[in-house]
Structure 1
Amino acid sequence: RLTLLYGGMFLIAGIVLLSIIYMLAAQALHVGSELPFEIVSGKVTSEICSLPTNASPDAFNAAMNACVNNQRKAALDTLLNRSLLALVGLSVMAFAFGYAMAGRVLSPLGRITRTARRVAGTDLTRRIELDGPDDELKELADTFDDMLDRLERAFTAQQRFVGNASHELRTPLAINRTLLEVHISDPEAPPELHQLGKTLLATNERSEQLVEGLLL
């Protein structure tokens, strides 16, 4: 799609530029091919150049050649100036058209970027869902959506695992803590049992803290 678009843009710009150059060249050739003098009643007159009236044939021919050369130079200068103006105008139009087309073509990338930023904020439910022809950008957007689907499934499975692991690990530790607290609170228990219960209770608390840290 991008290849066809930019190829068409260059083709249209080339056709327009060639047409303008052709018209300017035709006009310059028409002006340059006109004789800068005319013969009236056996006399050579010119409205562009000043021709000597009383001069030798060589001097008169040199003046006529200089007049013709000046006319050709003026025609070429006019062609060059108008070509430069046409080039500047086409450049401005090309930049404006290219800017508009680039914004239209690259707008899907903006959607992809905005979606990626929302996903970075832990919102895995966002999707691009780009519509349009099956080009490179559509393929990129679909691939990104597939990746988000896999990430969402993996994150959901991880949350499920964390929930199950939390239940399976916390329940035995809570039971152990309850049993140890009951034995420690027994006034008839020997001192050695009290000391052992406190040690085991401290170990159980460290295990609970470790489990809490792992399941965050």
Structure 2
Amino acid sequence: MQVTALILAGGRGTRMGGADKGLVTYQGVRMIERVLARIIPQVDQVIINANRNLDTYQTLGYPVFTDASPHFDGPLAGMQAGLHHTETDWIVSVPCDSPLLPLDLVQLLGAAIVKEKSLMAIARSTSGNHPVFCLMHRSLLASLTSFLDCGQRKVSTWQMQHQPAYVFFEADQAFTNINSIDVSQPNTSHSTSHAS
């Protein structure tokens, strides 16, 4: 299974006062760089979805793609861009503001897809499902485009149409979204997980 990582950095950052969350520093390092450090060893390629500060994101050395729409339509619009531009059959989406993401995310989501013969696998933990941590097949692009064209925006509503596999991760903290510039979280290096 060849996998492209899609880092979702296309939001407005409203919960962080409009800041571009991927470029905000967390423990002295920009959050997107922390996400890259954790996801790169797990995948074959990386692409970034961003709608602001494109020149800055391009300096990271990976292809940067904007949403098809200029209206900041949320994570699904970023996933659509990723599915459209990926060169591999599989793509894993992760948000740019989750610098503690599991180091075994792709491995365990991929194992669940093989086991359950699904086109999509989603992370979950004790705090609930994490729909933007999603491994999906590129053939889902047509379905996602149709969903967006109907004015729909909720990630989980679209995902439920495709009977996704779910993988439980013990380390709930790994999915922490950093929504404050001065938030400090301890480092988490690994997570123990199982499909459910």
Structure 1 length as normaliser, TM-score? 0.17
The structure where helix makes up a greater share of residues is 1
Larger Rg over CA atoms? 1
Higher relative contact order (CA 8 A, sep 6+): 2
